[in-house]
Structure 1
Amino acid sequence: MDFRDCFGRDPEGVWRAPGRVNLIGEHTDYNDGFVLPFALAQGVSVAAARRDDGVLELRSLQSPDPVRVTDAKPGQVSGWAAYAAGVAWALREAGHEVGGASVLIDSDLPQGAGLSSSAALECAVALALCDLYGIEVPRPELARIAQRAENDFVGMPCGIMDQSASLLCAEGHALLLDCRSGLSAQVPLDLTGLSLLVIDTRAEHELVDGGYAARRAACEKAAQVLGVAALRDVEDLAAALRVLDDPVLRRRTQHVVTDDHRVQAAVGLLRAGAVAEVGALLTASHLSLRDQFEVSWPEADVAVEEAVRAGARGARMVGGGFGGSVIALTPVDREERVRTAVTEAYADRGWEAPRFIDAVPSVGARRVS
């Protein structure tokens, strides 16, 4: 990142925030449930310096057009810059005195792959602005501020998982996060003899458009009908399904409740060192996301099927759905077979070749210089 070429001066620091993969527990976050993400080695880096004129000047090495923002309000900034501008807005809304800054952004996360590049951008910018202006915010609170930027400034009704994962994850661990209380615990993720392979299906997703919001609205409606604060509070699934007349609401509820249970089961297996056995939970989660929550897509379904057929212990789509990536838990000696099988299946269908990323549980957001 050549900061001087862009802004004519050296940066005051560089901050980096990782993308994430959610091992299991999808669409449970905004239902106040449990999730189990881990941070990737790939992420978003931000070099920044203070400005005295109140302007937030944003440049990205992945985009040719700089953006200059002054005290922007929701709806006034669009595209990638909205995530960064939204963080400055949300910090001010939380009572923190944040002024101008020159910000240069670089990323090695594939956009549209469902690996939370937006939350990584938010968290890197949040850390940079806090450091530049001497603001101390506990990380769980900073995750909430970044989430508000995405919810209220960008207009994407995401849960708290992505920002929490980017800020709180530890190397070699997954993060068990209670999305209602905000409490979290580090769970060892020992991959000895195994690998976690991200398969970017090259079907890009865009969650600001209606499908994600529709699923969230359905969950809220189901909770209202059932008389609970959120679907996390459903204790008797069979009884709840009898109450719900709408077959769509029944399917949505069944996925959320069972995936919440799968998170707890996965945590038990990881703590017992039975990591390979988590694979069956991954595949079960994918089938539920495909059939009950209806957010999968053809490239993901083929990737899961072919990965398991080629020897993966299990696989599932990750992220909000409608495009993005699949994660496969694979014995190391079968990883190449999995890559080949998925690639050949895509070629047979005339699809763009998938992209593969080794998913190594990594450290959370930090200042790097």
Structure 2
Amino acid sequence: MEIDANTRAIGESHSKLILLGEHAVVYGKPAIAMPFPLKVRCIVEETIGHVMLDSIIYTGVVDHMPREMQGIAACMKETLNYLGKPLENLSISIDSCIPLGRGLGSSAAVAIAMVRALFAFYGKELSKEELFSLVQISETYAHGNPSGIDMVSEASDCPVWFEKGKEVLPLKPTAPLFIAVADTGRMADTRTAVDNVKKRYAANPEKVEQSLEKIDDMANKAKAALLKGDIQCIGELLNGNQQELVKLGVSDEGLNGLVQRALKAGALGAKLTGGGMGGCMLALGKNMEHAKLIAKELREYGASNSWYFSTDSDMLYGVYE
């Protein structure tokens, strides 16, 4: 056996939040996504024999990975093939803090961390183009026809402006955002949410187009507000975006309740984030202490988890009972 670089390497990635524009992005509208400091770490080590995987979902030989991890398996195999390395003599450990199926980009984050770890293990430089090409394999398994917003935002250290098929633009806020995030404790039912939008479009295309155009306009205004540091404006736009998502049928009672609780706690704005029909929501605070207060209120209201953070720091804080 020969390992021509390291005997141990680590790759990391973070999750993501969609600030504005989910669902509208499917119809060619822009979205703003941002890093969320919930992280995943992948450790690759030298061993002898079959490639072994250790994760919260599955531990064992890679060839026997369960159906829900086939995208990760395919990404791993293609990465090793791309590097010209055999599928053997490796131990791969995945340690993720990102809850599954909540619209936070768990699958893309795991794939990013794994590709980074494998390239580091063999001492190879990794370009952004190589990373996206390999991660796309996993994302196609997970989502069928992914927009790409998860992997580009999770590979970025700042918010991004995303339009499918166009160049991704980094957005660097001139003032920090103080954000609280709450998990409903339920898997986001993205398929149902997408179908709801399609059904409404078929029944009343003019009404849905109006909502999509409003979301487009709000995304553009939020882009300008981020660059100016106008947090108050961003909050108002979050509220407006949530109203349109409710009209499109992608929010639900649990998400709506958390949004209202955040607003009652003085949040500048609040909305669901991700696929909807479960999953997570976010709220914008006035400062870090206010974000902490909102996160605490959301947990007391019934969120299974809540966190708060500032965009000018890589630190994430949780609220515990």
Give the TM-score, by structure 2 length: 0.82
SS at match of 2:185: strand
SS at match of 1:37: strand
CA distance in 1, matches of 2:180, 2:233: 16
CA distance in 2, matches of 1:11, 1:295: 47
Change (3 A) 1:354 1:51: closer
Alignment of 1:1-369 (within 5 A): 12-49=8-45, 55-60=50-55, 62-63=56-57, 65-70=58-63, 77-79=66-68, 81-91=69-79, 97-100=84-87, 101-133=90-122, 135-151=124-140, 153-167=141-155, 169-170=156-157, 173-188=158-173, 190-191=175-176, 195-207=178-190, 210-211=191-192, 214=195, 218=198, 246-292=202-248, 294-332=249-287, 334-335=290-291, 337-339=293-295, 341-343=297-299, 346=301, 352-361=302-311
SS at match of 2:271: strand
Task: Give 1:112 deviation, angstroms.
Answer: 3.5
Amino acid corresponding to residue 27 of structure 1 in structure 2: H
SS at match of 2:39: strand
Number of residue equivalences: 305
Contact 1:17 1:120 in 2 (8 A): yes
Post-superposition CA distance 1:183-219 (Å, at most 9, x none): 322322622xx62100112222254xx3256368x39
Task: Give 1:130 deviation, angstroms.
Answer: 2.6
CA distance in 1, matches of 2:153, 2:169: 10
Post-superposition CA distance 1:288-310 (Å, at most 9, x none): 11112x11121110111121122
Post-superposition CA distance 1:222-261 (Å, at most 9, x none): 9xxxxxxxxxxxxxxxxxxxxx7x3354454444333232
Q: Which one scores higher on RCO, CA 8 angstroms, separation ≥ 6?
A: 1
Change (3 A) 1:276 1:175: same
Post-superposition CA distance 1:334-357 (Å, at most 9, x none): 44553454455x3xxxxx444211
Change (3 A) 1:24 1:11: farther
SS at match of 1:203: coil
Contact 1:16 1:124 in 2 (8 A): yes
Contact 1:48 1:104 in 2 (8 A): yes
CA distance in 2, matches of 1:323, 1:188: 29
Change (3 A) 1:99 1:298: farther
SS at match of 1:23: strand
Task: Give 1:144 deviation, angstroms.
Answer: 4.0
CA distance in 1, matches of 2:255, 2:13: 26
Contact 1:33 1:180 in 2 (8 A): no
State the percentage of identical aligned residues.
22
CA distance in 2, matches of 1:141, 1:215: 35
Contact 1:52 1:99 in 2 (8 A): no
Structure 1 regions of 5+ residues with no counterpart? 1-9, 223-243, 347-351, 364-369
Change (3 A) 1:18 1:38: same
CA distance in 2, matches of 1:270, 1:328: 15
